């Protein structure tokens, strides 16, 4: 119980000292706010980009994906042989296997403007790999020839499309029978049509899909099915949906400049925050050296004074990251559009204060070293 | 019963050719309840003596018994709680915490010693009333005069009822009237409570408040007068 008043008075001292020098308080907070804001918005935009790139892998409900060898992005660079579908269907543990065509095509608006669309050709008879986030129309209508689903994001760009609108896609007249919402990967929006229709649109003479979607039988071991499929299709990549997602993220992080660019900005923000907070706290200790010396002289220990610094650092971290996150949230809401989504997941919101706490406490070590070497006798000089 | 017994107290700063002897074998005994002034010119060693007896500096040689505890050679981990519980400090420049009001400054040593906030506040207010600042308890140091600040410093030093108070030039930054008031207050509180007080000063105007004055020169006690 004797410890409580001691901690209480050290807490009060820490708060009052921090609030007393408004300029230093503003400086320290600015450092944390800057680090949180820069890091938060960079991570948020990066996560938005990741979400766009993994839209297909996350949206299509399949236990297992079969893709051409070395597929690392959302879009496959080549196609699989048609027999992949049949081989998959005959593999033990497989409940179903359907082809998926994924290719960029063009849609011509009423005024003749050509707009790119990402055409997803799926087996409309089963509906697997078909549209999600449906806002209008019935995906079953895609069993009819010459039909497609577009996304509401590009309604204006596609010339003000409505249900029943007819647009020329890859030289073929296609009727819009439904809409999805928000299905815009990194690039043009998705357009769903039947697999056979997609083959027709691209004038394909083969029936080779870009992917084969696989469902696992209830109770079957997914890993064992993946292994069996990989053995049956050695020239393909077989992976679970989560593995496909991770493969795309890994590609973005390691083989494009995106990861380096966003990572550098985030680390830069943290370094700047660290330096500003560190220097501000050190300067605060130097300015209040006699006060700290007096505290030592009247019996406060180095641990007590370290606690004062830690409490101040924690205060800067919590208040600064709170303000920083509010700003990032405001920015995310302000710039949110189908083309640019800033994602702030709970781990980022709760992780930012923890990270800032680590940064601020680390930054206070310089000040702590100064206090540790402080002789209480200095107050008599 | 003696509050302070120092024998052959020596303090050397630096090494080799740069060595400087601040204290040269000082012997000093201060009976409990005595108000002792240590005087001497600047650089004579009086602040070093005060620092050693205040347990914030270790002697190079000799022994120092403060309130029965042999403090020479004790580690900071042992000395800090001893200072907290047993010694009140009054500094030349008050050394109040600028961001804390008078109550906050006065209750600081109490709470560091484990006294609860409400009790510490009650005692701090009572002590501030005792030093004549009952109407200025919520003032920050910057809103107080030099004399008032030193009264707050006295209240901070005395609020825990420590058996020993050490004061370093407590009147140095005060005018004559304020200096007298501060010393009257300090010595009155000390005598009422039987507190031993050791004051380092070169302000001979306040000598009448001492029970005894000792002079120090070149690190040695050279004169002692009742």
A231 or B16, which is more confident?
A231
- List the single residue in A2, A12, A299 with the smallest CB-CB distance to B109: A299
**Mean pLDDT within B120-135:** 94
pLDDT at residue number B92 = 84
pLDDT at residue number A279 = 86
Q: What is the largest CA-CA distance in chain B?
A: 55
CA distance A288 to A313: 16
Q: What is the pLDDT of residues A77-102, one digit of tens each?
A: 789 999 999 999 999 999 999 999 99
Q: What is the CA radius of gyration of chain B?
A: 17
pLDDT band at B27 (very low <50, low <70, confident <90, very high): very high
Q: Given CB atoms, is A8 within the 8 Å cutoff of chain B?
A: yes
pLDDT band at A179 (very low <50, low <70, confident <90, very high): very high
pLDDT higher than 70, residue B93:
yes
CA distance B108 to B156: 8
pLDDT at residue number B25 = 93
Sign of CA dihedral A295, B194, B93, B58: negative
A199 or B16, which is more confident?
A199
Write the burial class of residue B70 (CB in 10 Å: 0-12 exposed, 13-18 middle, 19+ buried): exposed
Q: What is the pLDDT of residues B33-88, one digit of tens each?
A: 999 999 999 889 999 999 999 999 999 999 999 999 999 888 888 999 999 999 99
- Predicted ipTM? 0.90
Q: Which residues pair with A216 in a beta bridge?
A: A94
Cα B191 to chain centroid distance, Å, stands at 15
Query: Which of B86, B87, B90, B99 to mutate to probe the A interface, most A CBs <10 Å?
Result: B99
Domain ranges across chain A:
3-52+257-380, 70-234
Judge whether B155 and B139 are in contact, CB under 8 Å. Answer: no
CA distance A210 to A199: 11
pLDDT at residue number A319 = 94
Judge whether A35 and A359 are in contact, CB under 8 Å. Answer: yes
**Percentage with pLDDT > 90 across chain A:** 59
Judge whether B82 and B45 are in contact, CB under 8 Å. Answer: no
The pTM (predicted TM-score) of the whole model is 0.79
Judge whether A370 and A296 are in contact, CB under 8 Å. Answer: no
pLDDT band at B139 (very low <50, low <70, confident <90, very high): very high
Q: Given CB atoms, is A300 within the 8 Å cutoff of chain B?
A: yes
pLDDT band at B225 (very low <50, low <70, confident <90, very high): low
A293 contact residues in B (CB cutoff 8 A): 95
pLDDT at residue number B87 = 95
Which H/E stretch holds residue A95?
A: strand A94-108
Scored b (16 or more CB within 10 A) or e, B15-36 reads: eeeeeebbbbebebebeebbbb
Find, in chain A, the residue whose alpha carbon is nearest to that of B81: A299
**Mean pLDDT within A138-143:** 95
CA distance A101 to A68: 12
**Mean pLDDT within A167-188:** 91
A340 or A242, which is more confident?
A242
Write the burial class of residue B212 (CB in 10 Å: 0-12 exposed, 13-18 middle, 19+ buried): middle
Q: What is the CA radius of gyration of chain A?
A: 29
- List the single residue in A6, A288, A379 with the smallest CB-CB distance to B114: A6
Q: What is the pLDDT of residues A212-245, one digit of tens each?
A: 999 999 999 999 999 999 999 999 999 999 999 9
B171 or A323, which is more confident?
A323
pLDDT higher than 90, residue B4:
yes
B105 contact residues in A (CB cutoff 8 A): none
Q: Which residues contact A293 (CB under 8 A, 6 or more apart)?
A: A374, A375, A376, A378, A379, B95
pLDDT at residue number B224 = 67
pLDDT at residue number B16 = 83
pLDDT band at A264 (very low <50, low <70, confident <90, very high): confident
Tokens standing for residue A291: 């006060």
CA distance B76 to B58: 10
């Amino acid at each position: 119980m004797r410890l409580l008043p001691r901690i209480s008075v050290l807490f009060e001292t820490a708060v009052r000292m921090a609030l007393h020098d408004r300029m230093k308080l503003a400086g320290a907070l600015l450092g944390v706010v800057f680090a949180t804001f820069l890091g938060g918005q960079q991570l948020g935009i990066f996560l938005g980009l990741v979400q766009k790139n993994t839209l297909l892998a996350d949206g299509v409900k399949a236990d297992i994906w079969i893709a051409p060898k070395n597929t690392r992005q959302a879009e496959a660079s080549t196609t699989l042989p048609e027999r992949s579908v049949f081989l998959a269907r005959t593999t033990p543990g497989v409940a179903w296997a359907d082809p998926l065509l994924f290719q960029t095509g063009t849609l011509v608006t009423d005024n003749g403007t050509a707009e790119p669309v990402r055409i997803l050709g799926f087996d409309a008879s089963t509906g697997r790999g078909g549209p999600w986030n449906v806002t209008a129309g019935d995906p079953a209508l895609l069993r009819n020839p010459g039909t497609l689903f577009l996304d509401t994001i590009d309604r204006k760009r596609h010339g003000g499309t409505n249900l029943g609108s007819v647009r020329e896609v890859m030289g073929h007249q296609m009727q819009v029978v439904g809409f999805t919402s928000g299905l815009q990967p990194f690039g043009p929006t998705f357009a769903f049509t039947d697999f056979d229709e997609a083959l027709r649109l691209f004038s394909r003479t083969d029936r080779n899909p870009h992917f084969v979607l696989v469902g696992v039988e209830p109770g079957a071991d997914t890993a064992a099915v993946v292994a069996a499929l990989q053995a049956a299709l050695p020239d393909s990549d077989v992976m679970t949906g989560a593995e496909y997602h991770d493969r795309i993220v890994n590609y973005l992080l390691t083989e494009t400049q995106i990861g380096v660019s966003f990572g550098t900005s985030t680390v830069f923000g943290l370094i700047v925050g660290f330096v500003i907070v560190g220097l501000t706290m050190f300067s605060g200790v130097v300015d209040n050296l006699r006060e700290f010396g007096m505290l030592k002289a009247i019996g406060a220990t180095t641990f007590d004074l370290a606690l004062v610094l830690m409490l101040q650092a924690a205060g800067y971290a919590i208040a600064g990251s709170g303000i920083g996150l509010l700003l990032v949230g405001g920015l995310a809401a302000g710039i949110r559009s189908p083309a640019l989504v800033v994602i702030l997941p709970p781990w980022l919101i709760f992780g930012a204060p923890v990270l800032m706490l680590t940064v601020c406490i680390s930054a206070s070590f310089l000040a702590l070293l100064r206090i540790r070497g402080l002789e209480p006798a200095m107050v008599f000089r | 019963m003696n509050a302070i017994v120092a024998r052959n107290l020596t303090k050397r700063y630096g090494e080799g050719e740069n060595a400087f002897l601040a204290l040269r074998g000082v012997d000093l005994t201060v009976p409990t309840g005595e108000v002792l002034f240590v005087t001497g010119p600047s650089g004579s060693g009086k602040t070093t003596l005060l620092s050693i007896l205040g347990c914030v500096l270790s002697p190079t040689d000799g022994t120092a018994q403060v309130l029965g505890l042999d403090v020479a050679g004790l580690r900071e981990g042992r000395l800090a709680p001893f200072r907290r519980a047993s010694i009140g400090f009054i500094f030349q420049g008050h050394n109040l915490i600028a961001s804390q009001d008078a109550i906050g400054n006065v209750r600081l040593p109490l709470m560091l010693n484990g006294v609860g906030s409400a009790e510490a506040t009650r005692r701090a207010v009572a002590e501030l009333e005792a030093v004549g600042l009952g109407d200025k308890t919520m003032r920050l140091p910057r809103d107080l005069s030099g004399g008032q600040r030193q009264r707050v410093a006295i209240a901070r030093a005395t609020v825990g009822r420590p058996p020993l108070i050490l004061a370093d030039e407590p009147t140095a930054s005060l005018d004559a009237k304020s200096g007298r008031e501060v010393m009257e207050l300090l010595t009155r509180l000390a005598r009422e409570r039987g507190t031993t007080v050791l004051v380092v000063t070169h302000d001979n105007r306040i000598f009448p408040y001492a029970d005894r004055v000792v002079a120090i020169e070149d690190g040695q006690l050279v004169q002692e007068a009742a």
